[in-house]
Amino acid sequence: MQTLAGKKILLGISGGIAAYKCAELTRRLIERGAQVQVVMTKAAKEFITPLTMQAVSGRPVSDSLLDPAAEASMGHIELAKWADLVLLAPATADLIARMSAGMGNDLLTTLVLATDSPVAVSPAMNQQMYRNVATQENIATLARRGMHIWGPAAGEQACGDIGPGRMLEPMQLVNLCEQFFQPKVLNGRSILITAGPTREAIDPVRYITNHSSGKMGYALANAAAQMGASVTLISGPVNLSAPAGVKRINVDSAQEMHDAVIAHAASHDAFISCAAVADYRPEEIASQKLKKTASNDHMTIKMVKNPDIVATVAAMTQQRPFTVGFAAETNDVETYARGKLVRKNLDMICANDVSVEGQGFNSSDNAITLFWPQGELALALASKEALSISILEKMHELMSLPPEA
Ligand code: C5P
């Protein structure tokens, strides 16, 4: 989805080894509809060529303040005004120091002085250089002046050291750009979301679960955070990392998910139950591994019903959050979804037909119809990220309606 359609991003690259990631970063930004104008310092060109950056951005790279040809096409002041966002990645200790001192001794630092657009700085350097008091003070100065500081991450460094100073990965920076441009319609709202499957233990090594990947719930959490909400994500076991700015609570079983949701529901404005909660669990969990025996050709596990989490929240009489459920159906989607909406006392339900190949469980795309007591809205097949924004916009609209007389 073109989440950055028409956004003009001036990507300033300084001379650090992480500069090699800028080609990937540029491609991902452009893929999302952004226009990217690359500006490189002299040192940056030692790490990645202007030709590479020109090829991936589709625009000539600007690298000199004193280039008559470049000044004639788009002068440095024009360039500074053109940008909706100036993203400095990687920002070396030297670039950060020069900006902190207010210098304009090359094109990039001059642009930073000449722009009144927001500036995001993504530091990247050796961990000791990052920890140095001078660097820390310089970064604090930039933050105090209103620049956004994105990163760094900690981990293994190109020089072999381990510690803080790694540039954020390209997709993390893309995500921060999306977050930066997303209208903050959910500012001030708190949203609780469940995601993923649950695991119902049989014995210490076995469990019953389902095919939920957690992608939809994680996409919702990410979108809600990008739209300004404070988000708590209660997650079953999945292979996904928590979206930036989201508080994640990990659980295994339906009962654990239930307990975590109940502990947090009253303190949130909305609850979105996206998890594929197991309806039943083994009545007893064997304390030791169940053994296969020669005489046992069959095995029976007695199951008991799990609590219905979303129905429990929807039945709250005090501080009840706006409650949204999901319905994965294989037929008669509207009938079953509306049935659940009423039976579970939900405010909205997101229904999808999981019998259609390429959507729903484990897929990156989905098509969903939203039902609420007074209406419905069909959302065509789209990425789970794009759908999340539409779902949250509708939810926000319904939450903002005056209570019925
Ligand atoms: O499983 P079912 O189709 O009834 O799920 C509909 C909704 O109920 C989903 O939002 C799901 O997260 C929620 N649910 C729940 N607790 C259960 C079963 C389902 O919260 N035990």
pLDDT tens digits for 125-182?
999 999 999 999 999 999 999 999 999 999 888 888 889 999 999 999 998 999 899 8
Question: Distance between CA atoms of 23 and 13, rounded to whole angstroms?
Answer: 11
Pocket flag, ligand 1, residue 327 (CB < 6 Å): yes
pLDDT at 359: 64
Please give the number of the atom of ligand 1 that sits closest to the Cα of 279: 21
Q: Which residues 6+ apart lie within 8 Å of 232 measured at CB?
A: 190, 191, 192, 193, 246, 247, 248, 249, 264, 268
Judge whether residue 405 has pLDDT over 70: no
Judge whether residue 222 has pLDDT over 70: yes
Q: How far is the CA of 275 from the centre of ligand 1 (A)?
A: 7
Judge whether residue 192 has pLDDT over 80: yes
The candidate with the shortest Cα–Cα distance to 147, out of 186, 184, 96, 193, is 96
Question: Distance between CA atoms of 34 and 6, rounded to whole angstroms?
Answer: 5
Question: Distance between CA atoms of 30 and 36, rounded to whole angstroms?
Answer: 7
Q: Do 182 and 250 form a contact (C-beta atoms < 8 A)?
A: no
The distance of Cα 16 from the centroid of its chain, to the nearest Å, equals: 26
Instruction: For residue 238, give Cα distances in angstroms to 50, 102, 362.
Output: 40, 46, 11
Please give the number of the atom of ligand 1 that sits closest to the Cα of 305: 21
Q: Which residues 6+ apart lie within 8 Å of 22 measured at CB?
A: 11, 13, 38, 48, 53, 89, 90, 170
Evaluate the CA torsion angle 242, 247, 252, 257 in order and state its sign. negative
Average pLDDT, whole number, for the chain? 93
Question: Distance between CA atoms of 7 and 31, rounded to whole angstroms?
Answer: 12
Mean pLDDT of 22-37: 97
> What totals of helices (H) and strands (E) does the chain contain, helices first?
14, 19
E-assigned strand segments in 215-355? 230-235, 247-250, 270-273, 280-282, 303-305, 322-329, 348-353
Pocket flag, ligand 1, residue 306 (CB < 6 Å): yes
Q: How far is the CA of 343 from the centre of ligand 1 (A)?
A: 12
Question: Distance between CA atoms of 297 and 8, rounded to whole angstroms?
Answer: 66
Please give the number of the atom of ligand 1 that sits closest to the Cα of 310: 20
The candidate with the shortest Cα–Cα distance to 327, out of 335, 315, 318, is 335
Residue recorded with tokens 């030297």 = 94
Judge whether residue 208 has pLDDT over 70: yes
The candidate with the shortest Cα–Cα distance to 337, out of 372, 292, 303, 378, is 372
Residue recorded with tokens 């795309």 = 365
Residue to mutate, 273, 306, 336, ligand 1, most ligand atoms under 8 Å from C-beta:
273
Q: What are phi and psi of 377, to 5 degrees?
A: -150, 120
Residue to mutate, 199, 309, 316, ligand 1, most ligand atoms under 8 Å from C-beta:
309
Please give the number of the atom of ligand 1 that sits closest to the Cα of 349: 10
Q: How far is the CA of 307 from the centre of ligand 1 (A)?
A: 9
Burial 215-249 (b: 16+ CB within 10 A, else e): bbbbbbbbbbbbbbbbbbbbbbebebebbebbebb
Mean pLDDT of 247-253: 98
Pocket flag, ligand 1, residue 7 (CB < 6 Å): no
**344 in a labelled binding site:** yes
Residue to mutate, 211, 310, 338, ligand 1, most ligand atoms under 8 Å from C-beta:
310
Judge whether residue 206 has pLDDT over 80: yes
Return the residue whose CA atom lies nearest to atom 21 of ligand 1: 308
Return the residue whose CA atom lies nearest to atom 17 of ligand 1: 308
Q: How far is the CA of 348 from the centre of ligand 1 (A)?
A: 13
| Structural domains for the chain | 8-181 (3.40.50.1950), 190-400 (3.40.50.10300)
Please, which pLDDT band fits residue 361 given cuts at 50, 70 and 90?
low
CA dihedral of residues 350, 355, 360, 365 (deg, nearest 10): -110
Q: Do 371 and 333 form a contact (C-beta atoms < 8 A)?
A: no
The interaxial angle of helices 50-57 and 22-31, nearest 10 deg, is 10
Mean pLDDT of 2-20: 95
Question: Distance between CA atoms of 262 and 157, rounded to whole angstroms?
Answer: 42
Judge whether residue 204 has pLDDT over 60: yes
Q: What is this structure's pTM?
A: 0.79
Q: Provide the annotated active-site residues.
A: 159
Question: Distance between CA atoms of 14 and 122, rounded to whole angstroms?
Answer: 11
Q: How far is the CA of 193 from the centre of ligand 1 (A)?
A: 13
Pocket flag, ligand 1, residue 310 (CB < 6 Å): yes
Question: Distance between CA atoms of 38 and 31, rounded to whole angstroms?
Answer: 16
